[in-house]
Amino acid sequence: MKLLEERIRRDGRVQGSDVLKVDSFLNHQMDVALFQELGREFKRLFDGCGVTKILTIEASGIGIACVTAQFFACPVIFAKKSRTKNIAGDVYTSKVESFTHGKVYDIIVSKEFLLPSDRVLLIDDFLANGSALQGLIQLVREAGATLVGAGVCVEKAFQPGGGLIRSMGVRVEALARVQSMSQESGVIFCEG
Amino acid sequence: MKLLEERIRRDGRVQGSDVLKVDSFLNHQMDVALFQELGREFKRLFDGCGVTKILTIEASGIGIACVTAQFFACPVIFAKKSRTKNIAGDVYTSKVESFTHGKVYDIIVSKEFLLPSDRVLLIDDFLANGSALQGLIQLVREAGATLVGAGVCVEKAFQPGGGLIRSMGVRVEALARVQSMSQESGVIFCEG
């Protein structure tokens, strides 16, 4: 998606060899006008798939998931990273290894919100090592729901996550696919 | 706001003496069509205040903040609960005591996104003890930005947060104010 690629070229910053900072518009400060265009594109890509729920993971996926859900006219569920006393025992759980934080944590979703009849679209801001999506996929499978696919804003295509998730038979749509990046040459996107 | 009060009466659940579970539509599963109506109401309440940024706190405030920001045509910033390696050193910090989790944590926001010229509206799902809003207010003050006010979906008016924040001279608008609640009598809202 040209709009997102251009925004990353303009406002994204490469740090070291593998960190792409897009926190001025995607995942700390959030440009909701941009999110509307991204949500419209996810709708175009997954139109006709009968999506009944969008599932994301806290925290940075929630904004883009909520704006996107307006186009699908469906609710959002976000998987939580720790058990709170507001969540009762009836939860699906899986594990996620955070690329950013360098640790493993549990994610949970209440069983009452993820039903066997649901057709679930996963939405997240980044796809790098694929751990977050794998965790979400396991929640959907535990619930016996149908997984429609995964929509991510930015895929770091030089990391293994995209290949891994696609090899599981899951449809993955990334609005911008980074082929390579460096502080010297900036961000290079995959063709087509 | 009648729409939200009716939804809480229908789908909210009281647990013990002070927990109001609204996780089927507000802060775990999120009804974005409802969020649009809440966002429209926040816009009506704070119209003409020149809001340039909406500030919220992860995780459950992000969805309502993003949908609301569409009406204000401004970006959202969410305060993060822990330092990640994607955030550089230049941050404002404050402390929040979580009512739900029963612990104190740091919240941070990058200095580059909160400017002295900003007119900031705080948005959150709940106002109970007021600790989250106090933390956000401190971030706004540290930045030297102007605080327009705080919009919360649900205020538990029998807890001290609302009084505390208003006594600081901050305008607080709550779309539903819970006067009292119990498992026997359900949820009673404040008049007017």
What ipTM was estimated for this complex?
0.95
CA distance B172 to chain A (A): 23
Is A78's CB within 8 Å of B32's CB? no
pLDDT of residue B140: 98
Is B30's CB within 8 Å of A76's CB? yes
Cα-flanking dihedrals φ and ψ of residue A24, to 5°?
Answer: -85, -10
pLDDT (mean) for B59-81: 97
pLDDT of residue B83: 55
Q: Is B112 on the interface with A (CB under 8 A)?
A: yes
Residue spans per domain, chain A: 2-186
Residue B33 has its nearest CB partner, among A36, A63, A73, at A73
Helix, strand and coil content of chain B, in percent to the nearest 5, comes to 30, 35, 35
3-class DSSP assignment, residue B174: strand
Instruction: Please identify among residues 12-51 of chain B the ones whose CB lies closer than 8 Å to any CB of chain A.
Output: 19, 21, 23-25, 28-33, 35-36
CA distance B57 to chain A (A): 10
Least confident of A163-167, B165-169, B181-185: B181-185
pLDDT over 70 (residue B51): yes
pLDDT of residue B87: 52
Is A63's CB within 8 Å of B62's CB? yes
- pTM score of the predicted model: 0.96
Distance of CA A135 to the CA centre of its chain: 11
Q: What is the overall mean pLDDT for chain A?
A: 94
Structure confidence by residue, pLDDT tens digits, A32-74:
999 999 999 999 999 999 999 999 999 999 999 999 999 999 9
Is B59's CB within 8 Å of A73's CB? no
Is A58's CB within 8 Å of B63's CB? no
Residue A84 has its nearest CB partner, among B36, B67, B101, at B101
pLDDT (mean) for A14-36: 95
Cα-flanking dihedrals φ and ψ of residue A167, to 5°?
Answer: -70, -15
pLDDT of residue A78: 98
Helix (H) or strand (E) holding A189: strand A186-189
Is A70's CB within 8 Å of B32's CB? yes
CA distance B97 to chain A (A): 14
pLDDT over 90 (residue A98): no
pLDDT of residue B17: 85
Tell me, which fold does domain B2-78+116-131+144-189 have in CATH?
Answer: Rossmann fold (3.40.50)
pLDDT (mean) for A179-189: 95
Residue B30 has its nearest CB partner, among A36, A66, A82, at A66
Tokens of A72: 């699908």
Tokens of B136: 């956000």
Distance of CA A14 to the CA centre of its chain: 20
CB B110 within 8 A of CB B90: yes
CB A154 within 8 A of CB A8: yes
pLDDT of residue B102: 75
Produce one character per residue of A21-38: b if its CB has 16 or more CB atoms within 10 Å, e if not: bbbbbbbbbbbbebbbeb
pLDDT of residue B24: 98
User: How much of chain A, in percent, has pLDDT values that exceed 70?
Assistant: 94
Q: B78: which strand partners?
A: B56
Q: Which residues of B touch A110 (CB under 8 A)?
A: 23, 28-29
Measure Cα distances from B46 to A31, B4, B174 in Å.
20, 18, 12
Is B59's CB within 8 Å of A78's CB? yes
Is A58's CB within 8 Å of B58's CB? yes
Is B85's CB within 8 Å of A101's CB? yes
Could you count the other beta carbons within 10 Å of the beta carbon of residue A119?
Answer: 17
Tokens of B56: 């919220």
Structure confidence by residue, pLDDT tens digits, A140-157:
999 999 999 999 999 999
Task: Find where tokens 């900072």 sit.
Answer: A21
Q: If pLDDT is split at 50, 70 and 90, which confidence band does B70 have?
A: very high
pLDDT over 60 (residue B63): yes
More confident residue, A192 or A152: A152
Distance of CA A134 to the CA centre of its chain: 11
pLDDT of residue A103: 84
Strands (E), B39-90: 53-57, 76-79
Residue B113 has its nearest CB partner, among A29, A62, A81, at A29
Q: A186: which strand partners?
A: A182
d(CA A189, CA A27): 20
CB B114 within 8 A of CB B53: yes
pLDDT of residue A23: 96
CB B51 within 8 A of CB B42: no
pLDDT over 70 (residue A99): no
Q: If pLDDT is split at 50, 70 and 90, which confidence band does A20 have?
A: very high
CA distance B5 to chain A (A): 19
Measure Cα distances from B146 to B17, B43, B140, B150 in Å.
37, 18, 7, 12
Chain B residue at shortest CA distance from A85: B100
Q: Which residues of B touch A36 (CB under 8 A)?
A: 70
Is A84's CB within 8 Å of B70's CB? no
pLDDT (mean) for B115-128: 98
pLDDT of residue A138: 97
pLDDT (mean) for B117-144: 97
CB A64 within 8 A of CB A153: yes
CATH number of A2-186: 3.40.50.2020
Among A22, A25, A66, most B C-beta atoms within 10 A, so best to mutate, is A66
More confident residue, B53 or B87: B53
Is B86's CB within 8 Å of A113's CB? no
CA distance B169 to chain A (A): 27
With both helix axes pointing from N to C terminus, report the angle between B62-72 and A32-45 in degrees, rounded to the nearest 10. 110
